[in-house]
Amino acid sequence: MSNPLESLVHSLVPASRTDERLHNELVAHCQEILNSRIGQNHEPDIGHLADLVKRQLLHSSPSGSGSLKFTNLLSRLLDQPVLSRKHSAVHFLHSLASSRQPSTSTAPPFLPSLAPPPPVRSSSSPVSPAPDCSPVSQTSGKSKAEKLRELRLQNGRSHLPEHLLLRDTLYLLQGISGKYVRLASSDQQHTLEFVDQGRYVISEPTKALVHRLSEVGYLYTRVDQYVREREGATGVGMIEQSLCHHLQTKLTEYYRLIAILESQMPSSNPSDANDAREQESGLTLRRLDVWINEWRLRMRMMSVCVEGARESHGGALVNLIHSYTDNGDPFVRKFTDQLLEEVSKPFFATLHKWLFSGELYDPFSEFFVGMDQSLAQIQPLHPSSLTGVIHQLSGDGGFASPDNDDTWDGGDGLKMWEAKYEFRKEMLPMFVGEAFGRKIFSTGKSLNFIRYSCHDRDWVATREKMSNTGGSLKYSDILGLERSIDAAYSVASQRLFDVFLEKFKLLDHLRALKHYLLLGHGDFADQLMITLGSSLSRPANALFRHNLTATLETAIRSSNAQNDPPDVLRRLDARMLEYSHGEIGWDVFTLEYKIDAPIDTVIDPDSMIKYLKLFNHLWQMKRIEGTLSQSWMRIAGGARTFLRIPELDSSWHQIRVVMAEMIHLIRQMQAYCQLEVIECSWKTLVEFLNKREGDLDAMIEAHRSYLDRLVKKIMLLTSKSGREEQVLNIVKDIFTLILQFRDAVDNFYNFCLSESARRDRALDAERGLYTGPDEDPNGSLEESLPRLMHPVQEYGSQFAEKAQSLVQHLQVHSDLDCRFLGVRLNFSDYYRNAAKRSDTPKT
């Protein structure tokens, strides 16, 4: 222990280094103190000591938090096996806490948070702490620093006076080189150079302190350089301009602090006693480090933001700054919040205009909503411009079409809605969130669409109602921002539903598509089938559009469809698809329902193509059903009157059995399409529209889901890749077989008529009445019957095979409704029993 004691004595009493007698005396005195039992005249009782400490803590903090914390720390101390004199350590800390001495000086009025050290006392006082001095020796009365300074003066080189170094340090804080300390930069490396004057020397601890202070000056230089660059640059975004403004405000506060610190500089000639006292109580390097510490953190944060702003802009820059709020340091979090409050003001100004007016003012592309400039000037045709056409058509019931109907180009509404504005997720601030960002995007789009695409004159009232839903938008009130977004979204969506359903009668148009293109008007479909049946059996090149239009008008006037609004009827038209050689009218005829803006936003051209597909399929089904009904009525009536030929009863029985199967299949498919698919899907769509919840995207999606469900279920599409239309192709083959079977049955029916007439002539001849030649040009019954019955039996057997295949595919279909259709077609297991019979070998 002697070596540490000797080092301690030498450091505390420098005179003992040369005086051996004094050295030995002090070392012996210290050893005597260490070997004594001072303060241990009683057994250590740490429990009693803990009670004393708790009483003192309860006296100073009645809440008991300090006492509880002390108990926790004491228990952790007692669990430590390294410390052996735990009672002494606690007793020492208790003694220090009990012997606090009040401060004898006050801080300067301009910096109340720092108290300067007391002035140097006389040599009779014990130890007086100072920021730059070591404890004072009781024997000599001079501090360690003073003795070291005298030694350097004797050697000819002394420490550089602190007021000179302090002046250079203040220059460094402003990014300026001083006389003794200079800033140097090369290859993006910034260094600090200390000028060797030869006369003065700068100690290493002082250099380290100056280095620490120069960091603030370097950071200040980076921030100031960024602000100056952006002031003279072009195309700087509003958010970046707001950041520069806030940084400039902070730099102004920094300049004010530097000016205050310069005013507290000590005098340049510290020789007399007053100046020395002023130096002790004024600004020093260590005090400067303390006072500048808060600005060091600020400069670091500003420098980080500046570096991020060079690569980010707009909402991405706001995101970058917001990412620094997730910090445990309250100072950093508070500074970042203040910075965001200022920087986000342009963002919230743009947000307010977009959210409450539907206007996008974003000249520097900083907002998370982007606009397609090619669509910015498109103004879709307002339906009110067609009002004159409607009035002109009111005289003839509204069935005619305007002259320029063929030039209508739908789809502009959907294009305006989907492509005019885009959602840019990378520009969305994190404090908004994607869910609220989508609501903001939808709200602004809805207002813009109401104003420019729907030409709604009441949108000003809607805007006023939305403006009253919340106050100003700002970063410090995120909860208020969310409430404003929800309220604005609700008002805009409600108004959009009102415009579509009440002003533009969207539900009427959807109902018209259901009645006409999906054959929901049963009497209209029957009348159209009756009036067009003979015309559509002719070649396609023999049909003319004006004849089809006149026939359509006749079908409307002779059915309940005449009670529909004129605006609905004028949109209905009949036309022919492109045809090739050999096709007949049934193959190319179709109905058309014309949609204009803004209804084409919901009922877009792709949807109309699906409606036409459904119409063609249902129209073919209706044709098959009508054909079978006519054939059945003719056969049933003829069998009771003029087709009484006993030899043909078995043949007609086979025909009626096959035809009954065909009628059962067709009517079950029609019932499935109309009742289980169309009506159920229509009910779901109407319920959604009546609730008026969601935005235009939700309305478009609801209609697309409705239409996709119709296409998938009516066309019996499967989910197997590459074989989606496998079942549909079977149904088409069945339709073809039914038509071929009908033609074969008609030929057989005509033969039966001829045979019946021949037999009537034979009976007349037996009675002596001549009514015509007795021979039949078609041949005898025995010769013609096999020839005529062969195609009937062939088509009947092929139909049975296809129907059996259809049932088998429906029973394993991925859609539940399609599987139920298979159950309805095979409710008595007829086709399964038929399959078993066909697989059983004949004996």
Q: Kindly state whether residue 142 falls inside one of the protein's structural domains.
A: no
Domain total for the chain?
5
Closest CA to 580 of 522, 539, 533, 626: 539
Q: Kindly state whether residue 418 falls inside one of the protein's structural domains.
A: yes
Least reliable range by pLDDT among 416-425, 441-450, 469-478: 469-478
Q: Kindly state whether residue 400 falls inside one of the protein's structural domains.
A: no
pLDDT of residue 113 exceeding 50, the answer is no
Local confidence band at 641 (pLDDT 50, 70, 90 cut-offs): low
Alpha-carbon distance 621 to 675, whole Å? 15
pLDDT for the residue numbered 122: 36
Closest CA to 754 of 636, 638, 659: 638
Let me know: does 281 contact 116? Beta carbons within 8 Å: yes
Q: Residue 663, SS3?
A: helix
Find the domain containing 487 and state its range.
344-375+411-503
Alpha-carbon distance 466 to 459, whole Å? 10
Q: Kindly state whether residue 85 falls inside one of the protein's structural domains.
A: no
Q: Kindly state whether residue 220 falls inside one of the protein's structural domains.
A: yes
pLDDT tens for 44-61 read 678 888 888 888 887 777
Q: Which of 461, 486, 503 is the last residue of a domain?
A: 503
pLDDT > 70 fraction of the chain, expressed in percent and rounded: 79
Residue that wins the pLDDT comparison between 205 and 610: 610
The pair phi, psi for residue 369, each rounded to 5°, is -115, 125
pLDDT for the residue numbered 675: 92
Closest CA to 507 of 602, 612, 578: 602
Q: Do 168 and 65 share a structural domain?
A: no
Let me know: does 340 contact 321? Beta carbons within 8 Å: yes
pLDDT for the residue numbered 336: 85
Alpha-carbon distance 411 to 602, whole Å? 9
Mean pLDDT, rounded, for 242-269: 85
The pTM assigned to this predicted structure is 0.67
Q: Do 369 and 457 share a structural domain?
A: yes
pLDDT for the residue numbered 810: 92
pLDDT tens for 332-390 read 888 888 888 888 888 888 888 888 888 888 888 888 888 887 776 665 444 443 333 33
**Distance of CA 592 to CAs 544, 573, 577, 830, Å?**
16, 5, 11, 40
Let me know: does 741 contact 792? Beta carbons within 8 Å: yes
Q: Is residue 55 classed exposed, middle or buried when 0-12, 13-18 and 19+ CB atoms within 10 A define those classes? A: exposed
pLDDT for the residue numbered 389: 31
pLDDT for the residue numbered 210: 87
Looking at 390-547, which runs of residues are DSSP E strands? 421-423
pLDDT tens for 69-108 read 888 888 888 887 777 788 888 888 888 777 654 444 433 3
pLDDT for the residue numbered 393: 32
Instruction: Compute the mean pLDDT over every residue in the chain, rounded to the nearest whole number.
Output: 79
pLDDT of residue 41 exceeding 60, the answer is no
Closest CA to 552 of 579, 570, 577, 578: 570
**Distance of CA 789 to CAs 648, 650, 800, 834, Å?**
10, 11, 16, 22
Alpha-carbon distance 275 to 139, whole Å? 27
Q: Kindly state whether residue 756 falls inside one of the protein's structural domains.
A: yes
Q: Do 740 and 664 share a structural domain?
A: yes
pLDDT for the residue numbered 180: 81
pLDDT tens for 655-673 read 999 999 999 999 999 999 9
Most confident of 367-381, 455-469, 540-554: 540-554
Q: Do 625 and 727 share a structural domain?
A: yes
Q: Do 487 and 358 share a structural domain?
A: yes
pLDDT tens for 114-153 read 334 444 343 333 333 333 333 333 334 667 767 766 666 6
Mean pLDDT, rounded, for 541-559: 88
pLDDT for the residue numbered 110: 37
Q: Do 827 and 741 share a structural domain?
A: yes
Local confidence band at 33 (pLDDT 50, 70, 90 cut-offs): confident
The pair phi, psi for residue 193, each rounded to 5°, is -115, 130
Q: Is residue 631 classed exposed, middle or buried when 0-12, 13-18 and 19+ CB atoms within 10 A define those classes? A: buried
Q: Do 289 and 357 share a structural domain?
A: no
Q: Do 663 and 739 share a structural domain?
A: yes
Half-sphere exposure of 668 (CA within 13 A, CB side): 19
pLDDT of residue 841 exceeding 60, the answer is no
pLDDT of residue 806 exceeding 60, the answer is yes
pLDDT for the residue numbered 114: 37
Q: Do 370 and 488 share a structural domain?
A: yes
pLDDT for the residue numbered 592: 92
Q: Do 223 and 243 share a structural domain?
A: yes
Q: Kindly state whether residue 323 falls inside one of the protein's structural domains.
A: no
Least reliable range by pLDDT among 92-96, 156-160, 443-447, 541-545: 156-160
Q: Do 300 and 352 share a structural domain?
A: no
The pair phi, psi for residue 371, each rounded to 5°, is -120, 140
Least reliable range by pLDDT among 237-241, 548-552, 715-719, 809-813: 237-241
pLDDT for the residue numbered 837: 62
Q: Which residues contact 196 (CB under 8 A, 6 or more apart)?
A: none
Q: Is residue 628 classed exposed, middle or buried when 0-12, 13-18 and 19+ CB atoms within 10 A define those classes? A: buried
pLDDT for the residue numbered 152: 60
pLDDT for the residue numbered 381: 47
CA 838 to chain centre: 59
Q: Kindly state whether residue 706 falls inside one of the protein's structural domains.
A: no
Q: Which of 24, 50, 75 is the last residue of a domain?
A: 75
The strand pair at 158-159 and 200-201 is best described as parallel
pLDDT for the residue numbered 712: 94
Alpha-carbon distance 401 to 396, whole Å? 11
Alpha-carbon distance 166 to 154, whole Å? 25
Least reliable range by pLDDT among 323-332, 547-556, 569-578, 610-619: 323-332
pLDDT of residue 194 exceeding 90, the answer is no
pLDDT for the residue numbered 402: 38
Local confidence band at 594 (pLDDT 50, 70, 90 cut-offs): very high
Q: Do 621 and 751 share a structural domain?
A: yes
Q: Which of 58, 75, 92 is the last residue of a domain?
A: 75
Residue that wins the pLDDT comparison between 65 and 670: 670
- Tally helices (H) and strands (E) across the chain: 32, 8
